[in-house]
């Protein structure tokens, strides 16, 4: 069997495992004509007027399209040509369009990354601006939660605000996409921090998405930012589009959430002794900050005292700066757990999430990180799957149950 690791795959003999269940998404085939599906949704959206009618009604002089950053693969080759054609048909020129990249607190995209993600014709023909969580913001007032909402100025001042996203499971917001383009995508650092602080009480016991306070606050923020139209997709593990949703911020997104849950929430009868999990390859394992999502998903499928083997190349290292600082200054998992309770800090929340897993699970990491960094993550470094399995066999004996998660970042084990 082979599992994704960076841009490659690692092979191992799965027959050596005594009892195995492979947890994979309930995959749907990609749409045969995705461009046609996008065009149809733009003309027949959910809960909103067709895009061309909306444009003619608003007569915008400035259109902002919020798009994902490099860490979130999005099929722009199918989404942007129909969208831009509809805008052009309604009289919008390319000079009136600005793409704002929803980096949240991540680093800005480089020019080279923009060309790789969007294509040279788009990257050179349109204006792209990476969001900064620390400058050029507008205060939109207080949300019902008490969160003071600050949002990217270009988006707030736009005459027409469109967001593009991918709907997939998320370890504390429930699902990505939709409202997440605004908060955290183009929000201020303190607004993001307030929103994400709620994860401390939610991790390990997420409520249904319609009751999730993180999600509900994100929706309220996106409404306050006056998102006019969303274009979102659900994709399979091959990054093919299986469903397109467009229109109203909530109605269209929740329709996509239903499809995503059917695909990626995978039932299990009981927790296993071992999870062998791939973060899903590049860019999902570009750093441990991103690959943590797969670790968290695997955690749900493993019993206390069990073992998680994570494959994540981490070609760019640990990730975000605050996360790096927390990793390098904690001596034991309890340090991060106590620290986050004293004061929630973005970046530190990922260190907390990893620490919460390792409190009752053993974490084995196959990555490009050295032994010192692996130990700082409270992980045991090994160099191959075979080495990891030899260790597990010694630990658990001849009879143990294993789940294999080839798409760990997308697969959410759910107890029946």
Residues pairing with 97 in the sheet: 63
The answer to whether residues 65 and 99 touch, using CB atoms and an 8 Å cutoff, is: yes
The answer to whether residues 368 and 313 touch, using CB atoms and an 8 Å cutoff, is: yes
CA 28/CA 7 separation, integer angstroms: 23
Joined together, the tokens standing for residue 99 give: 């793409």
Place of tokens 């909306």: 54
Q: Which of 78, 131, 170, 196 is catalytic?
A: 170
Interacting residues of 37 by C-beta distance below 8 A, sequence separation 6+ = 31, 241, 244
Beta strands (DSSP E) in 257-344 are 265-268, 272-278, 302-311
Place of tokens 């990793």: 327
Helix (H) / strand (E) containing 243:
strand 241-247
Joined together, the tokens standing for residue 83 give: 């969208």
Helix (H) / strand (E) containing 232:
strand 229-235
Q: Which of 78, 106, 131, 196 is catalytic?
A: 106
Is 170 among the catalytic positions? yes
Is 265 among the catalytic positions? no
Alpha helices, H only, 148-232:
153-157, 189-196, 199-202, 213-224
Place of tokens 């790789």: 116
Active-site residues, by number, are: 106, 170
């Amino acid at each position: 069997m082979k599992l994704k690791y960076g841009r490659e795959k690692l092979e191992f003999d799965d027959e050596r495992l005594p009892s195995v269940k492979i947890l994979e998404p309930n995959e749907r085939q990609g749409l045969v004509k995705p461009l046609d599906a996008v065009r149809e949704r733009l003309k027949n959206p959910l809960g909103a007027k067709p895009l061309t009618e909306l444009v003619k009604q608003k007569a915008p002089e400035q259109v902002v399209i919020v798009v994902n950053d490099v860490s979130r693969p999005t099929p722009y080759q199918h989404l942007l040509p129909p969208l831009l054609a509809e805008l052009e048909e309604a009289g919008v020129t390319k000079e009136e369009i600005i793409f704002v990249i929803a980096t949240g607190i991540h680093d800005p995209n480089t020019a080279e990354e923009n060309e790789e993600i969007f294509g040279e014709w788009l990257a050179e023909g349109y204006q792209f601006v990476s969001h900064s969580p620390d400058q050029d913001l507008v205060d939109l007032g207080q949300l019902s939660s008490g969160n003071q909402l600050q949002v990217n100025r270009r988006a707030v001042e736009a005459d027409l605000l469109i967001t593009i996203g991918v709907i997939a499971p998320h370890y504390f917001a429930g699902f990505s996409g939709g409202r997440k383009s605004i908060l955290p995508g183009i929000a201020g650092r303190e607004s993001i921090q307030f929103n994400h602080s709620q994860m401390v009480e939610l991790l390990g016991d997420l409520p249904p998405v319609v009751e999730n306070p993180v999600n509900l606050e994100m929706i309220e923020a996106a409404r306050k930012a006056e998102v006019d139209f969303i274009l979102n997709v659900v994709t399979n593990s091959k990054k093919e589009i299986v469903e397109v949703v467009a229109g109203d911020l909530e109605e269209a997104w929740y329709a996509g959430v239903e499809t995503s849950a059917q695909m990626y929430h995978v039932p299990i009868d009981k927790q296993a002794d071992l999870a062998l999990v791939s973060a899903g390859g590049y860019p999902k394992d570009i750093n441990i900050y991103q690959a943590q999502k797969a670790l968290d998903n695997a955690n749900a499928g493993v019993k206390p005292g069990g073992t998680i083997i994570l494959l994540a190349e981490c070609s760019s290292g640990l990730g975000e700066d605050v996360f790096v600082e927390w990793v390098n200054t904690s001596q034991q998992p309890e340090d991060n757990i106590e620290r986050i309770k004293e004061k929630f800090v973005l970046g530190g929340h990922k260190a907390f999430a990893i620490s919460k897993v390792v409190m009752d699970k053993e974490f084995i990491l196959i990555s490009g990180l050295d032994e010192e960094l692996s130990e700082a993550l409270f992980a045991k470094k090994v160099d191959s799957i075979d080495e990891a399995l030899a260790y597990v066999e010694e630990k658990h004996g001849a009879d143990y149950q294993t789940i294999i998660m080839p798409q760990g970042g997308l697969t959410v084990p759910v107890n029946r």
